[in-house]
Amino acid sequence: MPFETIEVIDQKHHIAITLNRPDALNSISSQMMDEIDGVLESAEDRADLCAVSFTGNGRAFCAGVDLKGAQKRMQGADAALVNSQFLDKLRRLLLRIENFPAPVIAAVNGLALAGGLELVLACDLVIAAESAKLGDAHANYGLVPGGGSSVRLPRKIGPTRAKQMIYTGDFLTASQLMDWGLVNHVVPDDALGTELSEMVATLGKRSPIGLRRMKRMVDDGLAQSVDAALRYELSLNALHALSNDRTEGLAAFNEKRKPNFKGN
């Protein structure tokens, strides 16, 4: 399937999505959202999938929503409605990424600002190049968040630090955000691809259905009381006890061999 705003490589257990509008710093357009959404929708039911990853082509991961497009949307009598529809489309896409069954990895290669940061926040794991800079940035242009940073950022790094990022619009280093808990690993710029490959390779050795269920345990558990989340964990554990991958994993342990997981 041809794409104009993204590049997609479908490998074993892994779909790699590269944002491909380098001249616009990979800013998010309506077409880009449609293309990403189509890829994810077609892959949601794949039992063998262990990871989806996002990175950017060029010197930016994603500089946010395309502001030139935003200016066009704000022209005309129905500007408020058109802008609201665009942001609702972004909201739904980021929810699809956040709720995607398999783990989603952000490999941040450069600037990740505003909507780009919001894309990072929707991912499960974040690796970043040393030169990467991340920031909310809405305040720099008289804007306010519309893709979830006011909601997801405080849940990731705490409300005080989130308010600092949102109020100031400052660009922070990947190392600082690793200290704050947003980024998992920071690597030299030329090692980002290798780090992503190694992370994907690790996930590819795990049970796909196990990964999906552990993601649900963590994400759904955060929205529940501790007692309810513990009961939910046990219910998914009981369901997982019926899976072929669990049987295969225990058999491999007893037979001192590597497991051959099928994702069911």
pLDDT given at position 74? 63
Q: How confident is the model over 86-96, as a mean pLDDT?
A: 96
Three-state DSSP at 187 gives: strand
pLDDT at residue 70, as a whole number: 64
Q: Residue 247: what are its φ and ψ, rounded to 5°?
A: -60, -45
> Cα separation of 20 and 56, whole Å?
6
Q: Residue 1: pLDDT above 70?
A: no
Q: What is the pLDDT of residue 77?
A: 61
* DSSP-derived 3-state class of residue 48: coil
- pLDDT of the residue at 68: 75
For the stretch 193-210, pLDDT in tens is 999 999 999 999 999 999
What amino acid is encoded at 167 in this protein?
Y
Residue 228 has pLDDT above 90, yes or no: yes
Neighbours of 255 (CB within 10 A): 9
What 3-state DSSP class applies to 9? strand
Indicate whether 102 pLDDT > 80.
yes
Comparison of pLDDT for 83 and 65, the residue scoring more: 65
7-11: average pLDDT: 95
Contacts of 195 (CB under 8 A, 6+ apart): 107, 127, 185, 187
Which whole number is the average pLDDT over 87-106? 97
The pLDDT of residue 75: 64
Asked if pLDDT for residue 250 goes beyond 70, the answer is: yes
pLDDT at 229 over 90: yes
As a whole number of angstroms, the distance between CA 30 and CA 147 comes to 14
pLDDT tens, residue by residue, 147-176: 999 999 999 999 999 999 999 999 999 999
C-alpha 227 chain-centroid distance: 28
Cβ 105 vs Cβ 196: under 8 Å = yes
Contact 37, 50 (CB under 8 A): no
Q: Give the whole-number percent of the chain exceeding pLDDT 90.
A: 91
Of the pLDDT bands very low, low, confident and very high (cuts 50, 70, 90), residue 115 is very high
pLDDT in tens, 117-149: 999 999 999 999 999 999 999 999 999 999 999
Q: How crowded is residue 132: how many other Cβ atoms within 10 Å of its Cβ?
A: 28
Token pair for 247: 């049987």
Amino acid 72: pLDDT: 65
Give the span between the Cα atoms of 151 and 98, in whole angstroms.
13
What are the tens digits of pLDDT across the range 236-249? 999 999 999 999 99
Mean pLDDT over the full length of the chain? 95
Q: E strands, the chain, where?
A: 6-11, 14-19, 51-56, 60-62, 104-108, 111-113, 125-129, 133-135, 172-173, 185-187
Cross-strand partners of 186: 128
Q: CB 178: neighbour CB atoms within 10 A?
A: 16
